[in-house]
Structure 1
Amino acid sequence: MCQKFVRDNPPSKITKFNVAALASNAYVKALSNSNLKVSFQKAGIYPLDRLADPVENFKPSEPYVGLEPTPVSAAEQSDVDSYFKAAESVIDKKKEQNKTAINKTLSSIVSGQEITRSDICQEIFSKAQSQPLCEPPAPKKRKNN
């Protein structure tokens, strides 16, 4: 329905104002009497047809037997190991840089912890006392029309 709408009305877009109408039209067409009758008939529900679905569809699943893993040579394994060790060292260096560059802010003090805990309250108060107060922004002037 959406594709038909866009094709029939090129300059128009699907918006929140017309999506309900498009969805309800598609819903009504999908649940028409003829669609429901054909669906029940093909599934073998009414009229009852035990051969509508082949028996193979109801067999239990079989376990997947995958291929044997290919052996990896020692040289290839050492290349993979060295790659991951190098990547880990880069990550560790970034973590160390981030630890030294962390800017203590209120969110880093609280960070998902209960702000009612006494130790967190003490940290918040000490942080507030150590930082200078900032002045509120000046009110914006309104233009008179």
Structure 2
Amino acid sequence: VGRIEGGVAVNIVPAVVTLMGECRSLYEDRVLAQRDAMTRALEEAAARFGGQVEVAWELDYPAVMHEPGDAIVAHLEAAAATCGLESRHATSGGGADANILGMKGADAITLGIGMTNFHSVDEYIEVADLQNMARYVEAIIAEYA
């Protein structure tokens, strides 16, 4: 839960409060179990204290999973080798364009670009990493051409 809103003054118990949060997993059974547990906790707390709760869930980022032998992975590894970059595989629970494109039927994957401390006030990327990513994108285009 990352957002809690409600009330009209600091010394009055709010009549209505809105909570916004999320649950994520690469595995549908796990995310559904977590969603159900969070919903149950809200419903039980409301019942215990005489309140009411309305819960609404939206799917923002469906999981994208690729195996090392998948065609898209092989193409990206070949492109990395072409421009002298090391290919590393990592699993991420984050949301990106690849999740949305995958939901629409595209074979998409998220590529890391070398950022450090992402999503923080200390986020940065080295110029060399930007240059390497540009070379990598060129190699990906050539690989698919």
Q: Same fold (TM over 0.5)?
A: no
TM-score after normalising by structure 1? 0.20
* Greater strand proportion: 2
Q: Tell which has more relative contact order, 1 or 2 (C-alpha 8 A, sep 6+).
A: 2
Larger radius of gyration: 1
* Greater helix proportion: 1
